[in-house]
Amino acid sequence: MEGAIRDNGVHLAAVRKSFGAVDVIRGVDMDIRKGEFAVFVGPSGCGKSTLLRMIAGLEETSSGTIRIGDRDVTHEDPARRGVAMVFQSYALYPHLSVYENMAFSLRLARRPKPEIDEKVRAAADILQLGAQLDKKPAQLSGGQRQRVAIGRAIVRAPDLFLFDEPLSNLDAELRVQMRLELARLHKALGATMIYVTHDQVEAMTLADTIFVLQGGHVQQSGSPLDLYDNPSNRFVAGFIGSPS
Ligand code: ADP
Ligand code: MG
């Protein structure tokens, strides 16, 4: 890898996580390629969020290793991992404008003003928020608010985006629109993205690779078509097969 373009793929080997006596993640191996859109699906409580939080460094890994590119980040500080996470509940600062919400982390990092301005405007451009920059969150639609939340992640130019059910609070119509925007964003940024969802249509349309998690393991992984053609168990068949 030395001298090569920075690899920001994500590689998990024998990763485990217990909370007290409860084994939540029981040995997960996965390789997510640089630039790939990976989707985690699985029943509620199977550990999707825990796994994402471990990759982000927000949760300790009990054993095993996590690499981002060629760096072992298993015990690395979250702030050093080059990762941005977007959650389901996108708490924006209500008293701050869209611009200031997006600029927030850059101001904390004491970036120079012109750099902040350039990054915020570039992100607003990508997310079609250019006309909303002076508005407060309360003046925005749900979809625009979720775009601001994504904008806060983009300005930090992460190597890796982690999304934990980011659209589940939106109504069906907005979810469709945001799904298209996420696909467009992935193309535009070329970043590696890992996306947790309950929504089968999101998984099928966004994923390069779907990882089906169940019982603390990866039950199956493959392209949407692989899983559709050759589901390894009932859960996979049910998830892929039945319309929601
Ligand atoms: P999912 O996102 O797939 O719904 P989670 O990763 O949130 O699942 O949770 C997986 C399991 O781990 C659940 O049984 C949950 O109760 C448990 N869990 C998650 N976080 C903690 C924690 N901080 N302490 C104890 N148990 C936890
Ligand atoms: Mg979850």
Give per-residue pLDDT as tens, 145-187. 988 998 998 898 888 999 999 888 788 888 888 898 889 889 9
For residue range 196-231, what is the model confidence (pLDDT) as tens digits?
998 888 999 999 999 999 999 999 999 999 999 999
What one-character-per-residue DSSP string does 34-76 give?
Answer: TT-EEEEE-STTSSHHHHHHHHHTSS--SEEEEEETTEE-TTS
Gap from CA of 167 to ligand 2 centroid (Å): 13
Residue 243 has pLDDT above 60, yes or no: no
Candidate of 17, 26, 50, 59 to mutate for ligand 1, largest count of ligand atoms within 8 Å of Cβ: 50
Residue 2 has pLDDT above 70, yes or no: no
In angstroms, the CA 103 to CA 17 distance is 34
Residues 6+ apart with CB under 8 A from 132: 98, 124, 139, 140, 144, 148
Ligand 1: atom nearest CA of 22 is 26
**pLDDT grade for 4, boundaries at 50, 70 and 90:** very low
Report the percent of the chain where pLDDT is more than 90: 63
What average pLDDT does range 88-114 have in this prediction?
91
Tell me what ipTM this predicted complex has.
0.98
For residue range 106-125, what is the model confidence (pLDDT) as tens digits?
999 899 999 999 999 999 98
H/E run at residue 16 = strand 10-19
Residue 65 has pLDDT above 60, yes or no: yes
**Higher per-residue pLDDT: 106 or 7:** 106
Burial class of residue 208, CB neighbours in 10 A (0-12, 13-18, 19+): middle
Gap from CA of 46 to ligand 2 centroid (Å): 8
Please answer whether residues 55 and 71 qualify as being in contact, where contact means their C-beta atoms are separated by less than 8 angstroms: no
Q: Is 152 helix (H, G, I), strand (E, B) or coil?
A: helix
Please answer whether residues 236 and 221 qualify as being in contact, where contact means their C-beta atoms are separated by less than 8 angstroms: no
What pTM, to 2 d.p., does this model score? 0.90
| Residue 80 CA from chain centroid, whole number | 17
pLDDT at 6: 58
Residues 6+ apart with CB under 8 A from 181: 127, 147
What token pair was written down for 8?
Answer: 């920001």
In angstroms, the CA 167 to CA 186 distance is 16
Residues 6+ apart with CB under 8 A from 191: 8, 35, 158, 159, 160, 161
**Angstrom distances, CA of residue 193 to CA of 78, 122, 137:** 17, 19, 26
For residue range 18-31, what is the model confidence (pLDDT) as tens digits?
999 999 999 999 99
Pocket of ligand 1 (CB under 6 A): 19, 24, 42, 44-50
Mean confidence (pLDDT) of the chain: 90
Ligand 1: atom nearest CA of 48 is 3
What token pair was written down for 26?
Answer: 């029981």
